[in-house]
Amino acid sequence: MRRACVWFILLFFPFFCFGFIDVPNDGEVSFMIKSERGVSEYFILLNPLSYHVHCSVSGDYLNVEVFKFSDEYSSGLLKIMVIDSSGRTGVFETVLVSHSLKKPAIKSLKTSSDGIHLSWSSAGPGCICYDLYRDGVLIKSNLRETQYYDREADVLNSHCYRVNAVFSSGESSSEEKCSTGLSSITEKKAFPNPAKDKVVFTGLDRDWELVILNVSGDVVFSVKADDKAYIWYLLNSSGNKVSSGIYYYLMKSPSGSVEKTGKLAIVK
C-alpha cells in the first residue's frame, strides 16, 4: 500500500465537508478525518502555501497536522483530497483562521538638529522585542523599549521608518511613516540657540551664502549653500572649533543682498 503527502493547489473538486480551525499562536493544530473503509491512498492538497501539512494514517482515520510557518496571512484555505483504491475521491475543505499578531504603530517622528526621535505603540503581550528599519534597511534590532533616538540619520532630509514586532511565532510590521527633513523648513532661522555642538540654518536656497561673524565684525566662517538647510559644526574657516561667545550670522542671496541676520550664543 502506498501512502503519500504532496504539495498541490486544488482547482476543482466536489466538496463534502466544511469547517473552521482556529490556529493558536504557537502555529500548530491537528485534527482527524474519518475515511471510508477500503481507502488505500491519501493525498494532501494545500492552498495557500503559507501552511505546511503533515499526514499519517491510522486505521480508517486520516490524521492531519497543520503547521503555520508564515504570519503573512491571517487565514488560509486547506483542501484535503482522499482517493480510495477504486479511484473514488472525496474532498475535505476547511478554513484555517490564525490569531493575528498585534501590529505596532509609529506614534511620533520628531526631527531635531541632533537626530530623529521616534516612538511607537506596544505590540502587547507575547512581543519579544522590536526591529527598526530606516528607508528599508535594518538599523537597530532587539529593542526592548517603544522609542528610539536615531542620531545617525541625515536630519536635512526625510526618512521613512518601519517597526517590526518580533514574536515567537513570527513578526508583525507597522505601517511605514516618514519624517520631515529640515531642508523642507522655509522659515529663515538658526537653532539651537544657544548652541553647544552645531547650529542648523534653514530657509536657505542653492547658492545662498551663509556668513558667520564674531563680535568684532571679522568673518569667522562662510559657505555657499547647496541645499535649503545647512549644519554648521562650529568650525572656523581653518577647520578649528570656535570659542564660546556671541556671534552673528548673515544669509545672503546670490545677488549679494542680505536677507536675514541674527545673533548666536556659543557655549561649551
Domains of the chain: 15-98 (2.60.40.10), 106-178 (2.60.40.10), 185-266 (2.60.40.10)
Question: Helices H, strands E: what count in the chain?
Answer: 0, 23
Please, which pLDDT band fits residue 92 given cuts at 50, 70 and 90? low
Give the model confidence (pLDDT) of 206-259 as tens digits: 899 999 999 999 999 999 998 999 999 999 999 999 999 999 999 999 999 999
What percent of the chain has pLDDT above 90? 56
Please, which pLDDT band fits residue 12 given cuts at 50, 70 and 90? very low
The phi and psi torsions of 79 (rounded to 5 degrees) equal -125, 130
Q: Do residues 78 and 47 make contact, with C-beta atoms less than 8 angstroms apart?
A: yes
Instruction: With a cut of 80, say whether residue 171 has pLDDT above it.
Output: yes
pLDDT of residue 268: 82
All three cell numbers of 215, joined, read 563680535
Where residue 27 falls (left for φ over 0; alpha for ψ -120 to 50; beta otherwise) is left
For the ranges 21-30, 88-97, 190-199, the one whose mean pLDDT is highest? 190-199
Q: Name the nearest CA neighbour of 153 among 111, 184, 99.
A: 111
User: When comparing pLDDT for 211 and 20, which is higher?
Assistant: 211
| Cell 484535503, located at residue | 80
Q: What is the DSSP string of 191-255?
A: ESSSBSS-EEEES--TT-EEEEEETTS-EEEEEE-SSSEEEE-SB-TTSPBPPSEEEEEEEE-TT
Instruction: With a cut of 80, say whether residue 3 has pLDDT above it.
Output: no
pLDDT, mean over the chain: 77
Give the model confidence (pLDDT) of 21-71 as tens digits: 454 444 445 555 554 444 444 444 444 444 455 555 555 555 555 555 444
The phi and psi torsions of 230 (rounded to 5 degrees) equal -145, 140
> Computed from CA positions of residues 215, 220, 224, 227, in that sequence, does the dihedral angle turn out positive or negative?
negative
Query: pTM above the 0.85 mark?
Result: no
- Residue 48, judged by CB atoms within 10 A of its CB (0-12, 13-18, 19+), counts as middle
Average pLDDT over residues 79-83: 57
Q: Do residues 17 and 93 make contact, with C-beta atoms less than 8 angstroms apart?
A: yes
Please, which pLDDT band fits residue 128 given cuts at 50, 70 and 90? very high
